Chains A and B, each alone.
Chain A
Amino acid sequence: MFGDYSISDLGAILAMQGFAGLILFSVYVLMALGLAIIFGQMGVINMAHGEFMILGAYVTWMTSNAVQHVAPWLFPGYFFIAMILAFIASGALGMLVEWVLIRHLYKRPLDTLLATWGLSLILQQAYRSIFGAREVGVELPEWMMGSWQATDSIQIPINGMFVMGLTILITIVVFYILFWSSWGKQVRAVVQNRVMAGAVGINTEKVDRYTFGLGCGIAGIAGSAFTMIGSTGPTAGQLYIVDTFLVVVFGGAASLFGTIASAFSISQTQSTLEFFLSGSMAKVITLLTIVAILMVRPQGLFALKVRK
């Protein structure tokens, strides 16, 4: 297929394709981080993850409308406000859900799957009743659309770079919170030994609630960011849920680093294959490879050594 093209053409495509892979990588990391915290650290199988993302997307849509009506001069920068609001909204809903539903199920992790699946259906219908069944279009400020002309033939999508930057920032913050802050130490202590953590004076209930809220809040930010590249509708969350679980499970549930490594390998495989094969075939081969690897290594790429 490359016979007819010049070297510079191919070079440009290689560069753009590299970026396409990196953008996909950022998207995967961003959508999986929240789940990695909830599923990896707390063992809760949160099937409603996609719906928390879409809550963030709807918050962004509402912010965009509100800003256009109330303060049009703010429009170019509204996206940052929207992301903060999305974090707060999804985080708050997450904490509420934890209090009402999840905290009763910590001893029955498989039941969280059913409970959160039900929750996802409830949320979908709620969005449909509140915002209507049709998709909504989120308007973006002019500077976030279009592409950056690196050379004559290389164009890099601006929203892709925005997602990359955001992903790096959030990853750093999450790592800081979990591994350097004292609260993060409490989280990890509760994960490793709930009874013991309680015995040394950690308020495990509070830690659980905030951890769940943090995971959902990050999902909200991801949803907000994805309004740039995807659709916003009541069931749009379903588009992400499979890929999200795939990334987290393949990486090794309890390991944040594993999540990132797995997002990287899946996204690179996917985008390279997509270039040489068709979209559907690329997906099939990627999934088959993951299944094969998980058969050999059921614990995923990286696993914490835990004494059973």
Chain B
Amino acid sequence: MTTPLIKIEGLTKYYEMGGTTVRALDGVSLDIQPRTFTVVMGPSGSGKSSLLYLLGGLDRSTSGKITINDERLDQMDENALALFRRRTMGFIFQSYNLITSMNALENVAFPMQFTGIPVSERSERARQLLEQVGLSDRSHHRPSELSGGQQQRVAVARALVNNPSLILADEPTGNLDTVSGVSVMQLLSDLHRSGRTVLVVTHDPRMTRFATHKIFLLDGHVVSEAEYQSATMEMANLSSN
């Protein structure tokens, strides 16, 4: 068995909200192997986004260990986390988070400003990535001139610009119609096939068909697929009654 790329042990994340403690993650332990396509499924409030942000070092856990590439994220300071994200990870968000005043090419090139890649290489690399996501003819369009699916593909290109080994995607198809959603998932699947580790958080069961591994979260706990199915069936029945 290969060493896991990501190892999570006893991870908790509690929030204080209106005087009550919300247990977003309540003792999660799991391993994610390298070069896998993992989909984390869970209804809203299950803690799946919290898990993703903790893995990305964008938030701090309440307790537990997160090890990625043999490095302990929970012990890093802000600066080390930023540098770690820069070298290791690419992020894709539900709402794309493109900078509206920049065109597609500039948005893709944006992260390279922090890495010291020579200026001459930047636009070339950004152009190649836009071509890879099928948007070479849209490189000078602003986000407002692109469809949701196109915007998300720009975001995928941006996530790849520093050549990360790990892609973290938070509901990447959440704002997209089915066709666009499938094309984005196909793109992520291609990335997986090219040797990257992809972790997608979603509540859309249709997206699981691209996954090599599935993780189910309910109320801050990892559950089996069977438990998850029965719980979601129960919720569906409750809402139909």
Q: A and B bound? A: no
Chain B residues near A (Cβ < 8 Å): none
